[in-house]
Amino acid sequence: MSNGAVFMGVVCASFPTLVLVAVAVKLWELRAAGRWPQTQGTVTASRVASRRTAPGDLAYTSRDTEMTSEPFVEYEYAVKGRTFRCSRLSVAERAPGSERERILARYPVGAAVTVSYDPEDPSRAVLERTLPLGTMFLGGWAVMLLLLGGPLLAAFLYFNALYWLGDRVENRAAAKVVAALAGFGVAVSVLTLVFDAAVRRAQTWPTAAGRVVASGVEAYRVAVAFGPSRVRYKSGVVYAYEVGGREYAGDRLTLGVTVTASFPGYAARVAARYPVGREVAVHYDPRDPGESVRRPRSGLHHLLWVIAAALFALAWAIATGRV
């Protein structure tokens, strides 16, 4: 077996291993929490907590949105005469957006709750000692299937395409190039269909009145394969809006990729269009009001179709000997 094949095997196996380790850690935490003693407590705060990561934060990336809206439930309880406050709901790191409303409705301010606390450190506590194991295992298997099955399926299709193209192209040596171009064309087409469906769905979302609460230019560094890292700039606009009596915050202006630049001029112009205090109409997902966008329309999918067509055209030209 070649060194390259061994390296690829190790890389493909590392991701499922990390998933299994993460699941094992959560199961261990769940088992430990199941043995913790319990006491009565009272909910002191119940609201949506919106947080935006900034350049320098561990979770910061240059993707389209950095905003998260999670349920925040704080409760007070007493252990051996000492009063503690905690906001951890369960051993899960975070609750999905689809569960936000259910959680906040279940734990309104003033509600009596049963608190499970760590006897060695009573400041550590949880309200729920269960996890959706079925969903967790299903998600874990889906991730492993994607990480393992995806590369294997791609390799299977690629080598079978080479075998099929070998007797049908003018230049047999160009079969690898034709197969690769066609494969990229298919991948871009699938991506375009998914993105187009997201745009169409967002265009049906209801709107809420919002206002801009922050506006400026963000600078962050990106790694470069050869050479020092480079500084990139993008606009940082945050707007607040209200749905069902709860206040949310978002920072996604359009669907699709974020336009960044090596100079702050473009980002500054975008931010200038959204001064603090400006009233804006915000489109939000009715199933998950924390998911929002300022303008749901995007012309990116038209460009993606052009790229896919160019890839297929180039593959056809090479296969027929026209290039």
Instruction: Report the pLDDT value the prediction gives residue 186, as an integer from 0 to 100.
Output: 87
Tokens 């299903």 -> residue: 138
CA distance 121 to 80: 12
Confidence at 175, pLDDT banded by 50, 70, 90: confident
Q: Is 50 exceeded by the pLDDT of residue 1?
A: no
Q: What are phi and psi of 224, to 5 degrees?
A: -120, 140
Instruction: Report the pLDDT value the prediction gives residue 123, as an integer from 0 to 100.
Output: 94
CA distance 307 to 258: 18
The CATH 2.40.50 domain(s) of the chain lie at 3-133
End-to-end Cα, the chain, rounded Å: 36
State mean pLDDT over 243-254: 90
pLDDT tens, residue by residue, 32-47: 777 899 999 999 999 9
Least confident of 38-42, 80-84, 116-120, 143-147: 143-147
Instruction: Report the pLDDT value the prediction gives residue 34, as an integer from 0 to 100.
Output: 79
Instruction: Report the pLDDT value the prediction gives residue 165, as an integer from 0 to 100.
Output: 62
Instruction: Report the pLDDT value the prediction gives residue 79, as an integer from 0 to 100.
Output: 95
pTM for this model (two decimals):
0.70
Joined tokens for residue 317: 């030209």
pLDDT tens, residue by residue, 149-170: 666 666 666 666 666 666 666 6
pLDDT tens, residue by residue, 87-106: 998 876 666 666 788 888 89
300: number of Cβ within 10 Å: 15
Fold for domain 3-133? OB fold (Dihydrolipoamide Acetyltransferase, E2P) (2.40.50)
